[in-house]
Amino acid sequence: MADIVLDKVSKRFPDGTTAVQDVDLEIADGEFVILVGPSGCGKSTTLNMIAGLEDISSGELRIGGERVNDKAPRDRDIAMVFQSYALYPNMTVRENMAFPLRLAKLDKETINQKVDEAAKVLELTALLDRKPANLSGGQRQRVAMGRAIVRQPKAFLMDEPLSNLDAKLRVQMRTVVSRLQKQLGTTTVYVTHDQTEAMTLGDRVVIMRGGAVQQVGPPQELYDHPRNLFVAGFIGSPSMNFVHAAVEDGKLRTALGDVPIGERVRRELEAGDAPRELILGIRPEHFEDAALIDDETRRRGMEFEAPVDIVESMGSDKYVYFTVEGERATAAELEELAADAGAADFAGGGSNLVTRLSAESPVREGESRRVWFNLEKIHLFDPGSGRNLTLHEGRSAGALAD
Amino acid sequence: MAVESTTRAKVRWGLLDVVVVVFALVPVLWIASLSFKTPATLTDGKFWPREWTLDNYRTIFDTDQFVRALINSIGIALIATTIAVVLGAMAAYAISRLDFPGKKLLVGVSLLIAMFPQVSLVSPLFEIERQLGLFDTWPGLILPYITFALPLAIYTLSAFFKQIPWDLEKAAKMDGATQAQAFRRVIAPLAAPGVFTTAILVFIFCWNDFLFAITLTSTERSRTVPVALQFFTGESQFEDPTGAICAAAVVITVPIILFVLFFQRRIVSGLTSGAVKG
Ligand SMILES: Nc1ncnc2c1ncn2[C@@H]1O[C@H](COP(=O)(O)OP(=O)(O)O)[C@@H](O)[C@H]1O
Ligand SMILES: [Mg+2]
């Protein structure tokens, strides 16, 4: 049990790559923190520095209040679960789980007792005499977890522990991990590139990009109040819609119509170096079929009409895809996110909108439909810096706020 | 239909296998057969000896010549193998684990050595060794053997090392192992099959060499078996040594076969499977 503090921690590899840059992070005792970001953003490197498998180039790492920069992994009392599981193939499941205890020179009886206990928690008892080669992926994953929990370390580090499982098993194991962490109350740092895992698992989420921390906070806060374009685009599935917006006559000219702006945003845009072009971001659930809303709600937003491309009925609601004419939103962040998602620009001209409408909506593919969206939930981003202009004291208040 | 075709395919493959095995084994079996024949029936052209005898074996172990050559062969091959495998393991570790300047060059040069025709080196080596006093000594053979076995060792070992899941080393360190413990208890058991395989290949190379052995030796002091066989005369000058030579050939083949059989279990790959997702 211990807190982990990263104080301006950086990592430069000998070949000149700066993989991690000035990361400040305070992880409380017992907290479950998720490091998330596209691949190559420095998550594993950060984790390896906490583990002691990589040297820290500059900055300080403290575990339980003690500086551990120069301590070997074995002296940090931290357990790690690897993406590859890294089970010892020449040892049985029991021997694998007993390995850390044997190195710690515990007596045989205690070792057996602890291994049996951990095996029971992870439902591995029947498999104790098997070799890893004779286990399924999910079982190997559990053995890897078992090896980590068996010696009750100060903290767990997990590097994409579920990414080699198939989708169904991943969801299942997610709850196992979550329950286990709550049960044991051990400080945990969990790395993933999957935003769903990040949203569902952790107490707090750290979003990284290019070796730097973008935003730290509880999942819901990151979702509702993204500090910048990157965070906004990374968190959420389907992800936020981004539309080009030109500032003209105190209004935003967009493909969804002219969007009015409130005092606060106006003031932001009056500054000398303020951008003349913005990116408007809005999440799928903040759209609604215009025929289905009452007047009270209607006043809080505005409407547009667009041709319907695809309707996906999810039962509880409908995902409706529209194409809107007009310039596309472009920014380095968006390109990076698209590249990470493996989605190079598939749309020709115009931009695609993903909306989540009520199941009652009679919307049909091919028709043109009137759609309402909530102006209070809009985010405006500076395409140059990626900054969220609608964010005030960490809260996002939409485009209309005064 | 599908069943039929797989059965036919099996039969076809089976026949092909038999042909290959017979083709490879006939000369060996023939020599074995000759070694059990008496001088009178040696040339009768029968594959199966009509009269069995162990005289040929007795002859070769009675002559000092052969025993001495056997000792030379074993000693030289073992020493050369050990050194080549140790050096090769270090180089292969570096090649498969580390990024260092000149890595490509090292690999290229060792490839070059492997491709270099040995015949063209024999005369210069002969001259050099005579000048250095290495001619007709054990080191005189061990050194060139190491040189030519090293590329082989480096290649096979780095292929094996590349397959070792090195995450395991990190895992062991996280589990509380020192660097030495991680190597001894986790990495070494996984590297062993590769090392044994390489050792066998190198040993066979040294054991079977004829070219260097005939050029760089002149007396029983360091003559190895393949060469000694050529100088075999039998007990008297007028005796035909064919039977004895065949017996000797069998005797030097047996250790190799035993060696491979003994280590076969260790060579079986798949020992590392299951370490990572797989
Ligand atoms: N040993 C290394 N030498 C040089 N660069 C490295 C090394 N390891 C990782 N990197 C680089 O550092 C960056 C971060 O890597 P990593 O932490 O593995 O990313 P992630 O785990 O977020 O996918 C990447 O650009 C990667 O290419
Ligand atoms: Mg990684």
In a domain, A402, yes or no: no
Instruction: Give percent of chain A with pLDDT exceeding 70.
Output: 98
Residue A369 lies in a domain: yes
Same domain for A220 and A246? no
pLDDT at A397 over 60: yes
Same domain for A187 and A49: yes
For chain A, what is the domain count?
2
**Predicted pLDDT at A176:** 92
Q: Provide the token pair at B177.
A: 């192992």
Residue A92 lies in a domain: yes
Distance from CA of B264 to the nearest CA of A (A): 17
Residue B278 in this model has a pLDDT that exceeds 50: no
Cα–Cα distances (Å) from B94 to A177, A357, B104, B153, B194, in that order, read 38, 59, 12, 13, 15
Q: What is the CATH number of the domain that holds A19?
A: 3.40.50.300
A224 and A299: one domain? no
Residue A73 identity (one-letter amino acid): P
- pLDDT for position B234: 58
What pLDDT is attached to residue B2?
54
In a domain, A401, yes or no: no
What are residue A213's phi and psi, to 5 degrees? -75, 130
Closest residue by Cα to atom 19, ligand 1, is: A40
Using an 8 Å Cβ cutoff, are B118 and B211 in contact? Answer: yes
A270 pLDDT exceeds 70? Answer: yes
User: Residue range A189-201: average pLDDT?
Assistant: 93
Which residue among A161, A195, A228 closes a domain?
Answer: A228
Q: What is the pLDDT of residues B48-81, one digit of tens each?
A: 888 888 888 988 888 888 889 999 999 999 999 9
Instruction: Write down the pTM of the prediction.
Output: 0.80
What is the reported pLDDT for A213? 97
* Same domain, yes or no: A251 and A222: no
Average pLDDT of chain B, as a whole number: 86
Question: Is residue A348 pLDDT above 60, yes or no?
Answer: no
pLDDT band at A350 (very low <50, low <70, confident <90, very high): low
CB pairs under 8 A between A and B: 84
Return the pLDDT at B277.
Answer: 40
What does the pLDDT read at residue B236? 60
Residue A45 beta carbon below 6 angstroms from any ligand 1 atom:
yes
Band (pLDDT 50/70/90 cuts) for residue B239 is low
Select from A189, A209, A228 the last residue of a domain: A228
Tell me the residue range of the domain where A281 lies. 230-396
Tell me what the mean pLDDT of segment B84-97 comes to. Answer: 91
Looking at the fold, whether A64 and A197 belong to one and the same domain comes out as yes
- Same structural domain for residues A147 and A193? yes
Residues A22 and A142 in one domain: yes
Residues A21 and A128 both lie in one domain = yes
Do A221 and A262 have their domain in common?
Answer: no
C-alpha span between B224 and B137 (Å, rounded):
11
| Residue-range domains of chain B with CATH | 1-53 (no CATH), 63-277 (1.10.3720.10)
Please give the single-letter amino acid code of residue B260: V
**Per the domain annotation, does A91 fall within a domain?**
yes
Are A147 and A97 a contacting pair, CB within 8 Å? yes
Q: How confident is the model at residue A1 (pLDDT cuts 50, 70, 90)?
A: low
Residue in A51, A87, A164 nearest the CB of B174: A51
Whichever domain contains A269, its CATH number is 2.40.50.140
Cβ within 8 Å, pair B272-A78: no
Question: A-chain residues within 8 Å CB-CB of B185?
Answer: 99
Q: How confident is the model over A328-341, as pLDDT tens digits?
A: 888 888 888 888 87
Do A242 and A327 lie in one domain? The reply is yes
pLDDT of B138 reads 95
**Domain shared by A39 and A177, yes or no:** yes
Pick the ligand that lies closest to the CA of residue A340: 1
Does A234 lie in the same domain as A200?
Answer: no
Confidence of residue B252 (pLDDT cuts 50, 70, 90): confident
> What is the side-by-side order of every strand in the sheet holding A58-63?
A18-27, A4-12, A58-63, A66-67
Please name the amino acid found at residue A89.
Answer: P
pLDDT band with cut points at 50, 70 and 90 for residue B126: very high
Q: Given A177, A196, A228, which residue is the final one in a domain? A: A228
What's the rounded mean pLDDT across residues A237-258? Answer: 91
